[in-house]
Amino acid sequence: MFGSESQTFEELMNDFFQNVWKTVASIGFFDVIDILIIALLVYYVVKLVRDTRAMQFVKGIFLLLLVYIIAQVLPFRAMNFIMRQVLTIGATALVVVFQPELRRALERVGRTRLPVSLFGSQQNASSTQAELSLAIDEFRKASENLSRTRTGALMVFEMQTRLGEIIKTGVELDCRPVSELICTIFFPNTQLHDGAMVIRDGRIRAAGCFLPLTETDELSKQLGTRHRASVGMSENSDAIVVVVSEETGVISIARNGQLTRGFTPDTLGEYLRSELLPEETAAQRRERKLSLRRAKK
């Protein structure tokens, strides 16, 4: 009897490994691509909700699914009926509950960088790059003055996501940035100093704009409304938001919902150049750094 049971076990194991091998052998190239795409989508969904309040709702959904499975297995007729109704309207409820997260995810999908040459001539692209380079130098000078005098400032650099709705909340200017003008706008007790400045294509498009505040609780209680507005703006767009603290003069950058503090005027300028002028060559960077050193001497 023991030999029969041992043989039966061996047959079962052989059948198991044969089925596993057949399954592995039947996987083709497109099956691997399909699995990788699904894994990547699951990764980004988990990454999107992991550090947000949506994670609590995800846990609640898993709990409801567990209750539904139990109601299916056990003869709980009333519970089974209730859970079916809950899951029927669950899809609509998810869209309403996760509306901010879904909007943010769709915006990130739509942020596709395309070459400038597809929409204009190379001459226009070079002209825009030159204007951006000059504008970054002016913002670097302004941030140095604002930080030294501890003047609060909030500057939004538009990227792929258009900020027309934000611009309409302020006063439209459409002017070339000059460090003196930037410092004047944020000078205390002026009409535009409390709002945000929006920069598009190296030009100041508006000032005194209102930004959405973040709902996260991870920010330090010592940080004020400017910092919460900067993080909120970065959560709702791909913009680069520069903040100068009125209390400490510390320069910070908000990007993709994360606030990084402790920038100097020079490191701020380098960061803006790396993000706004990725086409700048190494030789151009070296020449610019040499020019800045000569100017400081």
pLDDT tens per residue, range 159-177: 888 888 899 999 998 899 9
Domain CATH code at residue 136: 3.40.1700.10
Same domain as 156, residue 276: yes
Same domain as 275, residue 165: yes
Task: Average the pLDDT over 240-259 and give the result.
Answer: 92
Same domain as 271, residue 150: yes
pTM, two decimals, is 0.61
Evaluate whether 101 touches 54 at the Cβ level (below 8 Å): yes
Confirm whether 116 is domain-assigned: no
Same domain as 91, residue 200: no
Handedness of CA 46, 51, 54, 58 (dihedral sign): positive
Out of 77, 110, 143, a domain closes at: 110
Same domain as 99, residue 142: no
Nearest to 54, CA basis, from 106, 100, 110, 88:
100
Same domain as 132, residue 53: no
Same domain as 106, residue 128: no
Would you state the pLDDT for residue 2? Answer: 44
Same domain as 151, residue 103: no
Same domain as 191, residue 82: no
Same domain as 130, residue 99: no
The mean-pLDDT minimum among 36-45, 102-111, 144-153 falls in 102-111
The mean-pLDDT minimum among 112-116, 253-257, 271-275 falls in 112-116
Q: Domains in the chain: how many in total?
A: 2
Residue 126, both tokens: 């070079």
The domain of 50 spans: 2-110
Q: What is the DSSP string of the chain?
A: -HHHHHHHHHHHHHHHHHHHHHHHHT--HHHHHHHHHHHHHHHHHHHHHHTSTHHHHHHHHHHHHHHHHHHHHTT-HHHHHHHHHHHHTHHHHHHHHTHHHHHHHHHHHH-----GGGTS-HHHHHHHHHHHHHHHHHHHHHHHHHHHHT--EEEEE--SS--HHHHHTSEEEEE---HHHHHHHTSTTSTTTTSEEEEETTEEEEEEE--PPP--S-S-TT--HHHHHHHHHHHHSS-EEEEE-TTT--EEEEETTEEEEEE-HHHHHHHHHHHH-TT--HHHHHHHHHHHHHHH-
Task: Average the pLDDT over 130-152 and give the result.
Answer: 91
Confirm whether 130 is domain-assigned: yes
**pLDDT band for position 291 (cuts 50, 70, 90):** low
Out of 110, 140, 175, a domain closes at: 110
Out of 84, 110, 136, a domain closes at: 110
Same domain as 146, residue 44: no
Same domain as 69, residue 8: yes
pLDDT exceeds 50 at position 116: no
Confirm whether 115 is domain-assigned: no
